[in-house]
Amino acid sequence: MRLTGGTSSRLGASWDGRGTNFALFSANAEKVELCLFDAQGRRELERIELPERTEDVWHGYLNDVSPGQLYGYRVYGPYAPERGHRFNANKLLLDPYARRLAGRLVWSDAHFAYRTGSAREDLSFDRRDNARGMPKAVVVDESFNWGRREIRPNIPWEDTIIYEAHVKGLTQKREDVPPNLRGTYGGLSSPAMIEHLKNLGVTAIELLPIHGLIDDRRLVELKLANYWGYNTIAFFAPEARYAQDNPLDSFRTTVARLHDAGIEVMLDVVYNHTAEGNHMGPTLSFRGIDNASYYWLNKENPRYYDDFTGCGSSVNLTHPRVLQMVMDSLRYWVEVCHVDGFRFDLATTLARGPNGFDRGSGFLTAVRQDPVLATVKLVAEPWDLGMGGYQVGAFPSQWSEWNDRYRSAMRRYWSGEGSLIGDISSRMTASSDLFHHDNRATRAGINHITVHDGFTLADLFSYNEKHNEANGEENRDGSNDNHSNNCGVEGPTDDPKILALRRQLRKNQFACLMLAQGTPLLLAGDEVGNSQSGNNNAYCQDNEIGWVGWDNLGKDGEDFTGFIGHLTALRRQFGQIRCQRWLDGRRTDGSYGVLWLTPSAEEMKESDWKFPEGRFLSYVLGPMEQGQAPIFIVLNAAPEEIAFKLPKMTEYKNWQQVLNTTGEEPASVAFPSGADTKAPPRSVLAFAGSA
C-alpha cells in the first residue's frame, strides 16, 4: 500500500530511507490534508487526508515520498475567532517542524483567513487559496558528513567571550571575504573572518536569528525587510536567504569550520512569538493548525491574544505539545547542527504561567532536566513587555542572563555622570547584587555595552538623539533613553579633539568590559567604529545602514582589533577576572578577594563611597591561587587628571603597568609599591603586582 498509518512518535516529515512519515499536532482540528507540490512549488499535485489520529497527532506514511518533495497542510475545523478557533482549509499552512523552506512568501490578501476590509474584519471568512504565494516545506535527508576533525570546542564559561553578529551584515562589506561568500553562512567561516575573530580573542559567535523567517508586509511595501530576523515562522529550518544552495548543509559546514578554529556557535532564538502577529495577522502556520493551543488567548475574549512581546501575540509554552515543539527544536539544533548555545529572545515569556513569570515553569523545568541541553550554553534576555516582565537575576542557576544594569551604569559613567562609583563597583565585580544567590556563578551576568538593538559604540559617543527616519515611522521607533554623549557635536565631525575624545571613550568601554567579572559580549563592528548614522533600531535596514562597515579596518587609531586582543589576553592572564567564585573583602588571615581603595591607597570607608560627584574608582583583585599576581584597576571618568597612590603591599615591590587607555600602545612602566602617579582624564589603567 502506498499510504499507511505511520507513527505519531516523531512530528514533522521524517524520511527513513524508504518513504516519509508525516505527523502534525492539532487538538482542535476535524481533518488534516497533506498537500504535495511540484519541484517549483507552483502546482499542487495531490491532497492526501492523513489517515490516523493518535493523542491529537494526525499522521500517515507515504512509501513513495523522498527528500526534495515539497509539501504543506490544509487543516479543517471551525472558524470561530470568538472561541479562539481560526481554521480555514483554503489556506496552505507550513509544517511547524519543517526542516527546510522552498520559496518566499509573496504577500497578498489571500494569506488572511478573513476578508480584509470587510465590515467585521477578522470575524468574516475568506475562501481564497493562498498556496501559490506560500513558501513550502521540503522533505530533507538529515545525514551529514561532519568529518574526523570536527570537535566541539566546549569552551568553559569562565573563558567565554561572545561576539554578536548578523550573518549577512557581518561579511557583506568585507573585501577580504570572497564575493560569492559575502553575506552568507560560508562568509562566517571564511579564512579572513576566522583570523579576525581569533585576533579579537573571542571564543563564540552569537548569530542573530537564522530560523526561517518572513518579511512583514508593511516593510515589504516600504521596500524594507525584517533584517534582524525576529519574525520566525519555522523553528527547525535555517533561513535560506543566507545560503547559496542547501541551507542546512551550508550552515552545518560553517559550524564545522568554526569549530575547527576553536570558535563556538550560539543562536539567538525567538520562541516567544511568531510571524503571524496579532488577531489581524495572516494565517501561515500555527494559527491555522490550532490557534487555541499555540498562542496565549485572552481569557475574557479569546478572539484576542495576550501580548507579552509587543509583537501582537505570545507563544503558549504551558501547552505540552507547544513546549514539546520548542524542546524538539532546541535539541535538533544541538544534535543535528552541533550548535553550542542559545540566547533566548524575551525569555520571560517562555517561562510564564497563569500567574506570570514562574521559576518552576514547565519550560525552565524541561530545560533543567534535558541531557542534550545540559551540554550547551543558555542565555536569557530576562524580560518581556508583560506585567512583571523584568526578571534580571531571577532565572535558575543553569542560565546566564543579559545584564542591562551593567550596560546602563557604564553608559552613564563614561558619558560623564557622577556619583555612580557604588554602582560601578558592583558592575565590575559580576553584579553580585543581582546574581549572587541560589548557587549561581559569576558568569551569570552577560555584560554588554552595545548589542544589535540600540546605538553602535561609535554612535553612542557621536549622537545624543536617535535618527531613525529611514525606518519609515517618523523617528517614533527605537529607544529614547540611550545614555549617550555626542561629545559636543551631533554626528560626524572633523574636529580632532572631539574625534580623540570619542576614541578614548570607546577604548574605556572596551577596557571595562574585558576587565569586569562576568561574561563579556561584543557587538560586531564596534572594534572598527561601525556607525549606523545614529539609527538605534536598524531592524529593517538590510543595507548600508545595517551592515557592518569595515572602512576603518587596518587604520591606525581607528581599528581597535589589536587593542581588544590585548584586553582579552589580559583577561586570560589574570584568572581572578574570570573566576567563578564570588569575591569577598579582607579576610582574617590578611588575604582578600577585592580591596576598594581611595586615591591615597587607603581602604574605602562608607563616607568614601558617598564622595559628591565621585568619578574615580580603584581596586585590587587579589590572587586566587599560589603564584598568581594581583591586578590593580583604576577607573577615572573625570574630565581632569587625578593623583593617586599605588597600593603599598609588602609582598609586592612593584606594580607593572599593563594597560593605559590614553596611550596608543599599552605602556609597560614599572612603579614602586606605594609610588605616587596620576590617572589621565577619562582613562582606565591596570597594573600587575610583582615581587
Distance CA 619, CA 424 (A): 12
Query: Per-residue DSSP letters for 451-474?
Result: -SSS--HHHHTT-SS---GGGSST
Which three three-digit cell numbers place residue 264? 563556538
584-690: CATH architecture: Sandwich (2.60)
Question: What is the pLDDT, as a whole number, of residue 590?
Answer: 73
Tell me which residues are annotated as active site. Answer: 345, 381
Which is higher by pLDDT, 407 or 121?
A: 407
Task: Give pLDDT tens digits for 175-211.
Answer: 999 999 999 999 999 999 999 999 999 999 999 999 9
Distance CA 622, CA 611 (A): 25
Place of cell 529572545: 345
3-state helix, strand, coil in the chain (%, to 5): 25, 20, 55
Question: What is the pLDDT, as a whole number, of residue 589?
Answer: 75
Give the pLDDT band (50/70/90) at residue 666.
low
Residues 6+ apart with CB under 8 A from 262: 153, 155, 198, 203
Question: What is the pLDDT, as a whole number, of residue 649?
Answer: 87
Contact 347, 382 (CB under 8 A): yes
Question: What is the pLDDT, as a whole number, of residue 651?
Answer: 86
Nearest C-alpha neighbor of 617 from the set 689, 516, 518: 516
Helix (H) or strand (E) holding 327: helix 320-335
Instruction: Give this prediction's pTM.
Output: 0.97
Which three three-digit cell numbers place residue 120? 467585521
Place of cell 500517515: 60
Residues 6+ apart with CB under 8 A from 553: 528, 559, 561
Nearest C-alpha neighbor of 515 from the set 452, 447, 458: 447
Radius of gyration from C-alpha coordinates of the chain: 27
Give the pLDDT band (50/70/90) at residue 60.
very high
Question: What is the pLDDT, as a whole number, of residue 667?
Answer: 63
Q: Where are the domains of the chain?
A: 3-138, 584-690
Task: Give pLDDT tens digits for 550-590.
Answer: 999 999 999 999 999 999 999 999 999 999 999 998 887 77
Place of cell 561574561: 519
The residue-averaged pLDDT of 11-28 equals: 97
The residue-averaged pLDDT of 394-408 equals: 98
User: Has residue 628 got a pLDDT over 90?
Assistant: no
Contact 622, 595 (CB under 8 A): yes
Q: Report the share of the chain in percent with pLDDT over 90.
A: 93
CATH superfamily name and code, 3-138: Immunoglobulins (2.60.40.10)
Could you check whether 3-138 and 584-690 share the same CATH topology? Answer: yes
The residue-averaged pLDDT of 652-668 equals: 85
Strand order across the beta sheet in which 616-621 lies: 594-597, 616-621, 631-636, 683-690, 654-660, 670-672
Contact 421, 616 (CB under 8 A): yes
